[in-house]
A and B are shown apart, each in its own frame.
Chain A
């Protein structure tokens, strides 16, 4: 049995077991509804944070408007379900596609810029998207928000379990896609842009093309996350997707390590849980978070994981090679 196949079996098995086991635990009631909700929310956060990590951590282009992409995905999916009565799965995919199209057209003028300008322009687009959402009253419900988005199921007792399964399954899918992308020649090209744009260019890599690819894919994933968020939450409001929301994802990515999928997954879950856990500290957590961010930047700028990955396959015996495919557990 080749290492590759062996690793694949280990990882696929582990993901399925983890997904099914936790879903069952939620169904039986060992994990209560509240914890299930936190885990589901963490899954959504991880999906959007992963999309941000793709463009910021792996491609090296700081984007500050990912809440905007999330908003497009969320509203598009919700409108598909509510106005056009499409099935949920199709709506989620469609929402992600709509976001990717927006990402493409936003990326076109912005990705010619670099560094600080890119950050500011993506921030600007995020705000424009929000303002447009407020003004398209017929479609989005304006500032009052969009209520009554159908959930994953009508059955209330099944709802926490199914939400969890959908979101985490999507998250695993996103991780697999991103991991495989980054270990392909396309992924190498994308990472080379982060390392040195000019050197990459002189090695014959079409920098703009790969930036666009990464940005559009990032928008797609963020849109998917947004759609899941809308379905999970059942209510949307433009102020949910403001600049501070974008900052939340930046915090997750930076804490986990820019350029580490595992890091984002870990910090996404830990931070989302902390957010709930720290509710007893009320608003003080709002100060503690950015303070942690500041300390990380000052003392460990590479974040928790740096650009390293934690490989589950390496846990299972010495035969697993570090270079072979590795995916993260749930």
Chain B
């Protein structure tokens, strides 16, 4: 394949991977925007979502209808999970020093990972994920699989829905208000706790669908599968400017493309190092990210 053919091919692959990262990054960025917490457990919500999808698909057999049910069930389960985690782990620490909240997030993440590992019906061994029959379409020299198309279409659809919720509904307005100033919005009669729970639920729904998409693209589920996509999505969120929703989408796609290009042209093993390298460069040059706001430190 010619150089440009491969470039285009890897860009398409990157677009599919990047839209999954974008979905996860949205959860990070929304939560960070509101409670200023890196929700380390977000990647593990993705893993839970993938597992729930796996069980639904295994019990119903693979079909379009089953896939739809799998999405719905895992979204509901993960939303509840997100709310529960926020209520019992993060809410008591909302006024605690940031470092404590961060360590709590790491603890929750470890509990979910290792919990999934010890629960008998999940277990530590990787399992093959049921996927649709693979079909590829060729556009000239570029090939795109049906799974990649599903990934991109579902991600874009979810992002449009999210954009609508955040920008055009009452609860979206409340979310933006709380992220702008929590105390002032409480004084204005916004139920801050409810809004934060809703944000966690929304982020978890996106993570759940990202989980199913991710494990359809890389057909495997295991308890620690959420760590790497979670970290990379967080990097995407930082890259785009943490707290900014368009930034997270943009950052996710850029990061996905950067990763597949590294895999295609340099070395597949070094792709993780490149991704973290991007993070370090971004943070040393422009710590607020591409679309982030400058926050001045006040004494």
Contact = CB atoms under 8 A, between A and B. Distances in A.
Interface of A: 56, 60, 62, 64, 109-110, 112-113, 115-117, 119-121, 123-125, 127-128, 131-132, 134-135, 198, 243-244, 247, 250, 254, 258, 282-284, 286-287, 289-291, 293-294, 297-298, 301
29 contacts: A116-B36, A119-B102, A124-B231, A127-B231, A127-B272, A127-B273, A127-B276, A128-B273, A131-B270, A131-B272, A247-B110, A250-B103, A254-B103, A258-B99, A283-B117, A283-B118, A283-B124, A284-B118, A286-B114, A286-B118, A287-B118, A290-B107, A290-B109, A293-B110, A294-B108, A294-B111, A297-B93, A298-B104, A301-B97
Given A124-B280, A134-B269, A298-B93, A243 B227 contact: yes
Interface residues of B, number: 43
Question: Max chain A CB contacts within 10 Å: which of B102, B103, B118?
Answer: B103
Interface in B45-96: 89, 92-93, 96
B6 to A, nearest CB: 22
A298 B272 CA distance: 34
B16 interface: no
A116 B103 contact: no
Contact of B100 (A124, A244, A301): A301
Q: Which 10 A-B residue pairings sit nearest by Cβ, starting from the closest?
A: A290-B110, A286-B114, A124-B276, A293-B107, A294-B107, A109-B284, A131-B273, A290-B107, A297-B104, A283-B118
Contacts of A284: 118
A112 B117 CA distance: 38
A59 to B, nearest CB: 12
Contacts of B92: 298
Question: Max chain A CB contacts within 10 Å: which of B106, B227, B269, B287?
Answer: B106
Contacts of B100: 297, 301
A287 B114 contact: yes
B272 A117 contact: no
Contacts of B124: 283
A120 B238 contact: yes
Given A120-B38, A284-B118, A294-B111, A125 B280 contact: yes
B107 A297 contact: yes
Given A62-B102, A135-B270, A289-B110, A116 B279 contact: no
B187 interface: no
B115 interface: yes
Given A119-B102, A198-B297, A291-B107, 5 more contacts: A115-B99, A119-B38, A250-B106, A294-B107, A298-B89
B219 interface: no
Nearest to A129: B273
Contact of B287 (A113, A286, A291): A113
A116 B108 contact: no
A110 B107 contact: no
B42 to A, nearest CB: 13
Contacts of B38: 116, 119-120
B5 interface: no
Given A121-B283, A254-B103, A286 B117 contact: yes
Nearest to B278: A124
A247 B104 CA distance: 12
Contacts of A297: 93, 96, 100, 103-104, 107
A113 B110 contact: no
B110 A117 contact: no
B117 A113 contact: no
B126 interface: no
Contacts of B127: none
A117 B114 contact: no
B267 A135 contact: yes
Contacts of A64: 106
B293 interface: no
Nearest to B279: A124
B299 interface: yes
A110 B281 CA distance: 10
